[in-house]
Amino acid sequence: MVCRVGAAVETIPRMPAQLVRSDVLYSGAPYAYASVAPPGSLIFTAGACPIDENGTVAAVGDYVRQASDTMANLVTALAAAGASIGDVLKTTVYVASGDRGDLYAVWQVVHSAFGAHDAPSTLVGVTVLGYSDQLVEIEAVALVGQQAPPSRPESARQT
């Protein structure tokens, strides 16, 4: 996959994630146990946060709204890398709480956003996250999607 400055976005072949399930492990888990990707096709996101366009943590104190805002930011980051929710191989969901009820509420938002694409995920309660008032962070590993992203923003290109 090569993008040249000023060149059109190149289409690359679709490389679907293969979600792996096991007949030996608990069958009621709401996610696949593993994923397989073709070589050279992975995207690793930074942890998506509930940060608005001004850099402010949104929905202070509200786990559900922060989870929703975080998922929206994750979808945006994936799109910028040429992927979508359906390309995600694995997520890690961090929740700043020791209360399983808070973790469950966040998980419901994440699980709903992924729909039938129940990629493997790890849900972790932590003491603190990076921004003041931040309650949720989600990172993902995904496959490269249908199109390679431009090498730099259109506004920075010279013609």
Q: Contact at 8 Å (CB) between 137 and 5?
A: no
Residue 156 counted as domain residue: no
Residue 43: per-residue pLDDT: 86
Q: How many domains does the chain have?
A: 1
Residue 15 counted as domain residue: no
Residue 68: per-residue pLDDT: 98
The winner for highest mean pLDDT among 17-31, 33-47, 106-120 is 106-120
Q: Contact at 8 Å (CB) between 50 and 138?
A: no
Which residues is 140 bridged to in the sheet? 91
Residue 16 counted as domain residue: no
pLDDT reading at 111 higher than 50: yes
Tokens of 18: 């293969």
Residue 40: per-residue pLDDT: 67
Residue 3 counted as domain residue: no
Residue 42 counted as domain residue: yes
Residue 22 counted as domain residue: no
Mean pLDDT, residues 32-60: 84
CATH number, domain with residue 66? 3.30.1330.40
Residue 20 counted as domain residue: no
Q: What is the pLDDT of residues 76-94, one digit of tens each?
A: 998 888 889 999 999 999 9
Give the chain's end-to-end CA distance (angstroms, integer).
22
Residue 32: per-residue pLDDT: 77
Q: Which domain holds residue 111?
A: 29-151
Model confidence, pTM: 0.73
Q: Contact at 8 Å (CB) between 137 and 49?
A: yes
Chain centroid to CA 106 = 14
How would DSSP label each residue in 56-99? PBPSTT-HHHHHHHHHHHHHHHHHHTT--GGGEEEEEEEEE-S-
Neighbours of 142 (CB within 10 A): 28
Residue 9 counted as domain residue: no
Residue 121: per-residue pLDDT: 96
Q: What is the pLDDT of residues 1-35, one digit of tens each?
A: 233 333 344 444 566 677 777 777 778 777 777 67
Q: What is the pLDDT of residues 120-155, one digit of tens each?
A: 999 999 999 999 999 999 999 998 864 434 444 444
